Structure formats: structure tokens, C-alpha cells
Amino acid sequence: MYKFDGEKKRKSIEGALKLRPEINQIADKLWEDGFDNICWFGIGGTYASAMQAYIHMKEKTNIEVFYEHAAEFLTTGNKRITEKTIVIISSVTGSTTEMVDGVKKLKQIGAKIVGFIDIATAQLAQDVDYLISYPENEQLKFFMFADRIMQLNGEFDDYEEYYAELDEHLAEALVQVEIDADKFALEFAELHHKDDIHYFVGTGNQWGATYSYAMCYWEEQHWIRTKSVQSAEFFHGMFEIVDRDTNVTVYVGEDSQRSLSERVAKFIPQICGRYTIIDTKDYKLSGISGKYRGSLSHHVMHAVNNRIDVHIEHLNRHPMTIRRYYRQLDY
């Protein structure tokens, strides 16, 4: 397979899962100290992950949870964020201006900040109250924190069973998804790598990932124009501009909002000839119980998208690391 290192991916996921005792230690301390609410805080891709964590928690917990955009927080603030708020952030470089300034403002308020910062020496890493430094696997790290809090709140009775399965099987299962998806991903990339515009539709714990994939990958890294649309909103505007030749991809996950995407997937063949349905149910997760697949389906989507990306990168001869403007110009 082109640009595929299964062992590296396997070790990356396994390494992230091994952070759980460290994450739990932080969550347990914050739980003992007490708090009023939890804020998932980010910008760009990390804001998308914040959406996913919020969706993951909102149907399972009675704890007040919300997400906040760093740039909006700097201009508008948020009265729900107080000294009794837990704020969870993530950053790769630790140098994004809005995140650095946002954390300074959060510290002035007195919120307790948990930071997943890839580079431990970054200034942002020094400014958070609790630091965990490990690259990639952002959603996995976020969800581990969320799940521990919900377990402590008596809302995740099979927490130990769930994570026993993840620890033993998830890494290998997701590596296999990439292998199984590769042929489809190449065909998809060949069809769409020159698109003038591409629409991505998703919902539930897939929505933040859909939003991020359109923005952070196709727009920022491939330089292909896109729009992301929430499945529940598809029938309120977007479907009127879809015709035979519109490029549309619908992500169908396995969480409680699956039916919203299924509705789009059922309708779209009537009006469109360039649609693709990516259903996470089509991929095995060996060793993972069916009852847990909904909480993990966004990882399946990400694995499929990984293979699409490497093929688009090759077909367009445009390395995904190259940017026109991001961190190239002052803005």
C-alpha cells in the first residue's frame, strides 16, 4: 500500500490508549475538587474535536458540557466559564495565537485547564494546569477524559469492559480498516481529486470530523473547495443546489444520530449522479462489541479518510504539508 506504515499507526493508537491512567489521575483529582461544568475549547481542527467530545457527552451525562471557539471567546467571552469550570484544550504546536491568548484569559478567570499539547516544551504547555503530551489521536484522548468523568458520575457502568476491548483490539482493528478501505479510497480519489467543489454531509460524533475533514484537509491541505453540511440541515437549503453532477459524500455513522444520515443517503440517488455513501458499518472492527461501535465510528471514518488523503496527495502531486498562507503571512 502506498505510504502506509501499519506498525507505526498501531503503536500510535496503543500509545494513546496507554495514557489512560495518567488521564484518569487528572480527571479523578478534578472530580474530587469539584466543578460546575466542562468546556471543550479550541479553534480550527481542535474546535472540531471539541464538537465531537460535546456530542459524545451530551446524550450520556447530566453534567453541563459545552464547547467554545477560542477566537470568539477572546472577543465575546462566555459567562458560563468561571473558576469552577474545567476547560479541555488540545494543540499540536502550542503556538496558535488564539489558543495562547485564550488560555491566558482562562487563567485570569481561574478555570482549571487540562491541555493535550503535542510539544511539551511549548509555552502553551507551561500555561495549562494539567499537561498530557503525546502526538496525534486527539479525539481518542478527549474521549478518554470524558468517559472517565462520566464513569465517576455513575453514567458509564461498563467503562472497564469497554476499555478492555479498546486496549486489546482497537489499534489492530483501525489498521485493518485502512487496509480494507484502500481500493475504495484510490477509486474515490481518482474520481474527485480535481473537483471544483465537494460537499461533505455528516452528523452525530461524525459531524465535527466531517467539518474538520472538509476544512482542515481538503481546503487547507489539498486546496480543494468544499462545504460541510450537517445531515439534519441537508433538507433545509443544500439539497436545492444538488444536481446530477454535484460532488457529494455522505458519512453514515453508527451512533444515535445514524438515522439522520441514512435519510440523506436514501434520498440523494434521486437527484445526484456523483454521490458517495461512506457507511462505517461496512468495515469490521474485530474484537469490538456491536454495542460499542457507535462511540467509535468516527475513528473508522478517519481511517477511511486517511487513505483517501494519501491518494489525492499523490494524484495532485501536492504534499499536504505545503500551505499558501497558513503561518506564511501575517494575519
Q: Which of 152, 176, 201 is the last residue of a domain?
A: 152
Tally of domains within the chain:
2
Residue 49's CATH number: 3.40.50.10490
For 282-293, what is the mean pLDDT? Answer: 98
pLDDT per residue as tens digits for the range 159-210: 999 999 999 999 999 999 999 999 999 999 999 999 999 999 999 999 999 9
Same domain, 20 and 147: yes
Same domain, 106 and 142: yes
pLDDT per residue as tens digits for the range 37-71: 999 999 999 999 999 999 999 999 999 999 999 99
In this structure, is residue 325 part of a structural domain? no
Same domain, 164 and 147: no
Q: Which of 89, 120, 152 is the last residue of a domain?
A: 152
Q: Residue 88: pLDDT band by 50, 70, 90 thresholds?
A: very high
Same domain, 209 and 143: no
pLDDT per residue as tens digits for the range 222-242: 999 999 999 999 999 999 999
pLDDT per residue as tens digits for the range 1-35: 999 999 999 999 999 999 999 999 999 999 999 99
Same domain, 172 and 265: yes
Q: Residue 282: pLDDT band by 50, 70, 90 thresholds?
A: very high
Least Cα distance to 83 among 114, 109, 113 occurs for 109
Q: Residue 79: pLDDT band by 50, 70, 90 thresholds?
A: very high
For 261-270, what is the mean pLDDT? Answer: 98
Task: State the residue range of the domain holding 289.
Answer: 159-316
In this structure, is residue 267 part of a structural domain? yes
Same domain, 308 and 167: yes
Task: Give the pLDDT confidence score for residue 53 in this predicted structure.
Answer: 98
Distance in Å from the first CA to the final CA of the chain? 39
Same domain, 23 and 60: yes
Same domain, 45 and 163: no
Q: Residue 322: pLDDT band by 50, 70, 90 thresholds?
A: very high
In this structure, is residue 248 part of a structural domain? yes
Distance CA(142)–CA(252), nearest Å, equals 22
In this structure, is residue 326 part of a structural domain? no
Using a pLDDT cut of 70, give the percent of the chain over it.
100
In this structure, is residue 331 part of a structural domain? no
In this structure, is residue 97 part of a structural domain? yes
Distance CA(311)–CA(205), nearest Å, equals 25
Task: Give the pLDDT confidence score for residue 4 in this predicted structure.
Answer: 98
Task: Give the pLDDT confidence score for residue 121 in this predicted structure.
Answer: 95
Same domain, 74 and 119: yes
Task: Give the pLDDT confidence score for residue 131 in this predicted structure.
Answer: 98
Q: Coil, strand, or helix at residue 239?
A: helix
Mean residue pLDDT of the chain comes to 98
In this structure, are residues 303 and 174 in contact, taking their beta carbons and an 8 Å threshold? yes
Q: Which of 118, 152, 186 is the last residue of a domain?
A: 152
Same domain, 165 and 312: yes
Helix pair 138-152, 45-58: axis angle to 10 deg: 30
Neighbouring CB atoms inside 10 A of 59's CB total 11
Same domain, 49 and 129: yes
Task: Give the pLDDT confidence score for residue 213 in this predicted structure.
Answer: 98
In this structure, is residue 298 part of a structural domain? yes
| pTM for the structure as a whole | 0.97
Same domain, 189 and 122: no
In this structure, is residue 39 part of a structural domain? yes
